[in-house]
Structure 1
Amino acid sequence: MYFIRCWRRSTAVVTSIRSIPAKRLLCSGSEDDTVFALSSGQGRCGVAVVRVSGPSSALAVRSLTRVLPAARIASLRSIIHPQTQELLDRGLVLWFPGPRSFTGEDCAEFHIHGGPAVINGVLQALGSLPGLRPAEAGEFTRRAFSAGKLDLTEVEGLGDLIHAETEAQRRQALRQMAGDLGRIYQDWSDRLKRCLAHVEAFIDFSEDELVEDGILNDVDVAVRQLQTQIGDHLSDQRRGERLRTGVQVVIAGSTNAGKSSLLNMLTQRPAAIVSPTAGTTRDVVEVPLDMGGYPVLLSDTAGLRDTTDSVEQEGVRRARQRCGDPLLGNPSLTQTRHRTHLQKSTEALHQYHHYRDVDLVLAAEGLRLALSSLGRITGKVGAEEILDVIFKDFCIGK
């Protein structure tokens, strides 16, 4: 069910969605389903983790192990197929009754041996139980979001942590997953709510002299402070985005200047052919590096010179294309949505100042739009249209 608030206005009626229906935040199955999936990586390994989440999690544990273990205590159990009574494995079983679980629902984990036959046997056993189905990609995390366990910035931090390849990426992902970024946006949202409430009160009750003098001046000061802080936040030269996606470094110059030798020295292996003959490098040679915890894509290119060799000409053309304007081409989509919503929020705050002395109703609408844009970052407002984009990078079981 949608919850709609109608704002009392003489000039217009403005509606805002106050919450998103929980069922539509989930994947194609019902929120009443119990889902299961392999939550550890694919392939042979010493230990694999199979996660179960939903109202029938306790039934699943009892069906495969006969006894529900104590909450949040690892218990060694024989894992048995509920239909054939065949012993599938012996492993650790953990029971997490909701809401104190990752998803906020009743959850269980089976820590089993990582051979494909064992994993398939346990997954088939779970699939034979009524009310259980395989989880869709990102569904555990999506359920955690629906239960209020994570906001969208924390969800993105979890995704970044899963895909982190360097130390600096790991640290940044952990900070975001811990809610550092979300707390900044939530603080701004709380302050904007207060400003909006004061303007609303002035509109509705100033004629009755129930509002203190100077309240709008306080709002003006608060809005300007928010504009300054959001502006400073946007003026980060995309450091966080560069860290997530990596930095591309191109080695370019004249022929036989030592470009390939430099590449080999940095990579500490013969990644590029080195020869005294000019024009040895024809194509672009790319090598990913971890430099001080930052991901770097190092590119060795053909020497920049005039040549009649058609193959070398193509190499020079590709080299020039890699030293071009970094603003050309499509920008990274990793955290671009944060930047977009923050810019929209800033524009809406300008609308407040523009209409402040002309039409206070329109000025208040500027604050409301700014609040809505901030809410879209954390998922507090209008999150549904961006959920698929965020969760599509998750693997099943994450």
Structure 2
Amino acid sequence: MATLDAWLDHAGERLDQGITLYFPGPASYTGEDVVELQGHGGPVLLQALLSRLYELGCEPAQAGEFTRRAVEHGKLDLSQAEAVAACIDAATVRAGKQAQRQLQGEFGIHIDRLMQRLTSLVAHVEASLDFPEEEIRDLYFSDLRNKMVETVVAPIKEMLASAPLGERLFEGATVALVGAPNVGKSSLLNALSGRERAIVSHLEGTTRDLLDVDFEVNGIPLRLTDTAGLRDSHDVVEIEGVRRALQVASTADVTLFVADASRPDTWSPSIHADLLLMNKVDLESGDIPDEYIQLSVISGEGLNELRSRLASFLGDIQMGDEGMMVTHERHRLVLVEALECIESGLGCLGNEELLDLAAMQWRRAWGLLAGILGIGDVEYILDRVFSEFCIGK
């Protein structure tokens, strides 16, 4: 229900006018009765309205409080709640689509299926413990092992295989451009980012400090850093620039070494580099080593190949219809631990004295997977997850 209302201060004077929206539970976002006020949005008016609400007994929401209430009232599972934050934080459309898939419950469905399969298989083991006189145990346990591997172990491993790229979509990566002065690093930064961020000059040593620019490759968010040209110098400022360049290169996820095709003296990398780039191939040059990606920032030649190679280096997977990925570190760590428990239990099959241990390990794996969805005694998980939310959401 929506109404147009005037909101008054304690003296009866109008603070603002706007729309009052009433969402009766359990059909609301949180599952409770919810009232939403939509004013004109100015910070002064909003603060005055909030102050009045506090006077009337309202309390400010804690970080992630509305989504946490949605979890507690069964409107979302915990993986969907984390997807709410992922939707907000997504820096690329590709990341946003992954977050939407999880928000719609696709990841939770996968986890729930694994839990159901584990429940069934654990029940079989415990039934076997109750009826030890059966004479087909060897055949039975061989079949049980195959089912566990096929329906639980293999799906978990497939999910974990998607984690490096899935997490990268949200965490992004840092890329450092290094090389001798005047080989075209700044021009390359401008070309990749599509913006004239760096000063480009024929004079050597134009770049002395670090310059960052954000861009994306195949939906992977990247921060590209242009650095000072690497060379010996007596200039104090340039020496500091080189020091910073080396420091950035040592910590970057990817280091791109740029050389000038017309200057063979720039071809030998002075530091470790993940990808070697030969710029200015439109100028005269000798035979260029095969390991270099050949490009010309001026003509655009080789830039698409560079983007493709960079995406591949970062673990990109070319897929026509991209499947669901593991995008949270918490989920990955839980899946790894659950897999270890399951495989430990598999190692107990065939030994009559260790069947109880197998069942225990698989029940523990079930509990770990349940924690992903927020099932069970997971108050500490809730506190950790929602502490990372923005206020209120």
Cα drift, residue 280 of structure 1: 2.5
Cα drift, residue 327 of structure 1: 7.6
Find the partner of 1:304 among 230, 234, 248.
230
Q: Give per-residue Cα distances to partners, 1:353-386, cap 9 Å, x unaligned.
A: 1212221000111101211221222222442222
C-alpha distance in structure 2 between counterparts of 1:128 and 1:310, whole Å: 60
C-alpha distance in structure 1 between counterparts of 2:2 and 2:218, whole Å: 38
**Code of the aligned partner of 2:51:** Q
C-alpha distance in structure 2 between counterparts of 1:297 and 1:324, whole Å: 15
Map residues 205-224 of structure 1 onto 2, 5 A cutoff: 205-207=130-132, 216-224=141-149
C-alpha distance in structure 2 between counterparts of 1:80 and 1:284, whole Å: 52
**Code of the aligned partner of 1:351:** S
Match of 2:162 in 1: 236
C-alpha distance in structure 2 between counterparts of 1:263 and 1:342, whole Å: 38
> How does the TM-score come out when normalised to structure 2?
0.73
Instruction: From the superposition, tell whether residues 117 and 270 of structure 1 become closer, same or farther in structure 2 (CA, over 3 Å).
Output: closer
**Code of the aligned partner of 1:380:** I
Cα drift, residue 107 of structure 1: 1.0
Q: Give per-residue Cα distances to partners, 1:271-314, cap 9 Å, x unaligned.
A: 22323232332222111124454322111112233444444344
Is 1:192 matched up with 2:185? no
C-alpha distance in structure 2 between counterparts of 1:92 and 1:166, whole Å: 32
In the alignment, is the contact (CA less than 8 A) between 1:167 and 1:294 conserved in 2? no
Match of 2:328 in 1: 335
Match of 2:378 in 1: 383
Map residues 72-91 of structure 1 onto 2, 5 A cutoff: 73-81=1-9, 83-91=10-18
Map residues 170-319 of structure 1 onto 2, 5 A cutoff: 170-203=96-129, 205-207=130-132, 216-225=141-150, 226-236=152-162, 238-291=164-217, 293-319=219-245
In the alignment, is the contact (CA less than 8 A) between 1:198 and 1:216 conserved in 2? no
Instruction: From the superposition, tell whether residues 88 and 218 of structure 1 become closer, same or farther in structure 2 (CA, over 3 Å).
Output: farther
Instruction: From the superposition, tell whether residues 237 and 339 of structure 1 become closer, same or farther in structure 2 (CA, over 3 Å).
Output: closer
Instruction: From the superposition, tell whether residues 327 and 206 of structure 1 become closer, same or farther in structure 2 (CA, over 3 Å).
Output: farther
2:347 is paired with a residue whose SS is helix
C-alpha distance in structure 1 between counterparts of 2:54 and 2:187, whole Å: 56
Match of 1:352 in 2: 345
Match of 1:112 in 2: 39
**Code of the aligned partner of 1:152:** L
In the alignment, is the contact (CA less than 8 A) between 1:144 and 1:150 conserved in 2? yes
Match of 1:155 in 2: 81
Cα drift, residue 316 of structure 1: 2.9
C-alpha distance in structure 1 between counterparts of 2:65 and 2:163, whole Å: 34
1:110 is paired with a residue whose SS is strand
Is 1:322 matched up with 2:248? yes
Identity score, percent: 42
1:187 is paired with a residue whose SS is helix
Match of 1:146 in 2: 72
1:252 is paired with a residue whose SS is strand
In the alignment, is the contact (CA less than 8 A) between 1:256 and 1:276 conserved in 2? yes
1:393 is paired with a residue whose SS is coil
Match of 1:372 in 2: 367
Match of 2:309 in 1: none
Is 1:99 matched up with 2:6? no
> How does the TM-score come out when normalised to structure 1?
0.72
Cα drift, residue 122 of structure 1: 2.8
2:167 is paired with a residue whose SS is helix
**Code of the aligned partner of 1:303:** G
Q: Give per-residue Cα distances to partners, 1:207-262, cap 9 Å, x unaligned.
A: 477x9996544432221121122112212261111110112222222221111111
1:114 is paired with a residue whose SS is coil
In the alignment, is the contact (CA less than 8 A) between 1:272 and 1:285 conserved in 2? yes
- Structure possessing the higher relative contact order (Cα contacts under 8 Å, 6 or more residues apart): 2
**Code of the aligned partner of 1:224:** V
Instruction: From the superposition, tell whether residues 353 and 152 of structure 1 become closer, same or farther in structure 2 (CA, over 3 Å).
Output: same
Q: Give per-residue Cα distances to partners, 1:123-175, cap 9 Å, x unaligned.
A: 23322335x32211211111111112122211111001112232222212211
In the alignment, is the contact (CA less than 8 A) between 1:198 and 1:215 conserved in 2? no
1:249 is paired with a residue whose SS is strand
